Amino acid sequence: MSMHSFDDIRPYNDDEVGPVIGRLLGDESFLQLITQFSATGAGMTTAQVSQWLSSEFGTLSTVRALQEKIYPLVDNLVQRTAQVTATGLDTLAPSGSYLFICNHRDIVFDPMSVNYLLHRQGLDTTRIAIGDNLLQNRLFGELMRLNKSFVVKRNISSPREMRDVFLNLSAFIHHSVREEGQSVWLAQREGRAKDGRDETDPAIIKMLYMSRKRNGESFAEALAGLKIVPVSIAYEYDPCDQDKARELAIRADTGSYQKQPGDDTQQIIRGLTGSKGRVHLYFGKPLGNDLPDTPKALAEAIDREMHAHYHLFPSNLVAWARQTGKSLTPEMLADHTQEELTQAEQVLDQRLAQCTAAQQPFLLASYANPVDNWLKARGL
């Protein structure tokens, strides 16, 4: 299939970079956004920001050139808001293309940190799956598609349309990884895991098989061709933890939660600019040819890999001990000092104090649940 088959969901191509940048540079709303949130734009008029952006980005004509240009800005953002570390990157071939299936905690920082680490390691960045709800903010949609993001359509009512959408998405992911040599980042489920449970939805795995099933490939053969890499991302502190606790408390009380206009935009900005403490990413070894033969079994195998190697921070441990009333084991405490645990207790108390009584159990559970997953995956 050609890329024209995916025009309604694909990222922007190189020949579209210049015109899209030109549109943004003439967009007053975009210039105001940059003026408001960029350290460079502070104290400048939108006209001055436009002139600065034009001199920095106006001549770029490829996606790679754009990413090379923005890397120092991303590096500065990461350095200011987190201490990012990783394990497992050395198992990836520099010329390889993979499907990174990742747990999902933050709308933008999750895939951004994966690409940040890949780029720093000298590997090509991924194409990023984003929900079409993020396109409601036109500026974010433009910026994300410039940055190799492709669209996952949601809220589809017709079964026939849903089948067609999933077939096209499946075909695009296989086309990217297997034919174009472009890696893909995909969340393990729709939406963020607001409760910290990080469970792969078998429906996602089933979707990945749909387009290849028509070609007569077996499930294991089709999924092996994607070279799936399970990735777990662990945040010491989640800048959006109180937003998530509030949503979960409302759902528990009323049975539903209605997003307000601008919720996603606000949480994108909070997740990017808020302090996260330490952040650790684990990259598993690419899954080989001996894959489970059903979507459910493969989803469970991905989860075991993610959970067993999830990096537990003191914030997770003290939350788990408080939630369960159990003592921390030597295995849990291997990498942590009593001073770190005491400090984590203090920070956790501060975050809980900013929640209502109804929200507090949900915030506590979001930090504690990864410990339960870790124990189960390791048979402890």
- DSSP for 236-259, written as a single string: SS-TTHHHHHHHHHHHHHHS---P
How does 23-53 read in b/e, with b if 16+ C-beta sit within 10 Å? ebbebeebbebbbeeeeebeebebeebbeeb
Looking at residue 1, its pLDDT comes to 53
Residue 133 pLDDT level (bands cut at 50, 70, 90): confident
Could you give the CA distance from residue 339 to residue 245 in angstroms, rounded to a whole number?
Answer: 27
Q: What six digits make up the tokens of 119?
A: 């780029």
User: How much is the pLDDT for 76?
Assistant: 93
Q: How high is the mean pLDDT of the chain? A: 93
Biggest CA-to-CA distance, the chain: 60
Predicted local distance difference test score (pLDDT) of residue 380: 87
Rounded Cα distance, 319 and 364, in Å: 6
At residue 3, the pLDDT reads 54
List helix spans (H) across 96-240.
Answer: 109-120, 138-146, 159-174, 202-213, 219-224
Is residue 103 within 8 Å of residue 233, measured between CB atoms? Answer: yes
Please say whether the beta carbons of 238 and 276 come within 8 A.
Answer: yes
Q: Looking at the predicted structure, is the pLDDT value of residue 356 above 60?
A: yes
Phi first, then psi, for residue 152 (nearest 5°) are: -105, 115
37 pLDDT band (50/70/90 cuts)? low
pLDDT tens digit string along 288-307?
878 999 999 999 999 999 99
Percentage of the chain lying above the pLDDT 90 cut: 79
- Report the SS3 class of residue 227: coil
Rounded CA gap, 141 and 361, in Å?
A: 34
For residues 73 and 76, what is the distance between their CA atoms, to the nearest angstrom? 5
Q: Is the pLDDT of residue 197 over 80?
A: yes
Confidence tier at 140 by pLDDT (50, 70, 90): confident
Who has greater pLDDT, 134 or 284? 284
Q: What is the pLDDT of residue 38?
A: 61
Whether the per-residue pLDDT at 77 is higher than 90: the answer is yes
> Which residues in 233-253 are b (16+ Cβ under 10 Å) and which e?
bbbbbbbbbbbbbbbbbbeee
Q: Write down the domain spans for the chain.
A: 3-14+62-238+250-309, 312-380
Cα 249 to chain centroid distance, Å, stands at 23
Q: Which of 249, 105, 127 is nearest to 189 (CA)?
A: 105
Predicted TM-score (pTM) of this structure: 0.94
CA angle 273, 305, 297 (to 5 degrees): 120
Q: Mean per-residue pLDDT for 205-225?
A: 94
Residue 146: band (very low, low, confident or very high) from pLDDT cuts 50, 70, 90: very high
Class of domain 3-14+62-238+250-309: alpha beta
pLDDT at 43: 66
pLDDT higher than threshold 60 for residue 264 = yes
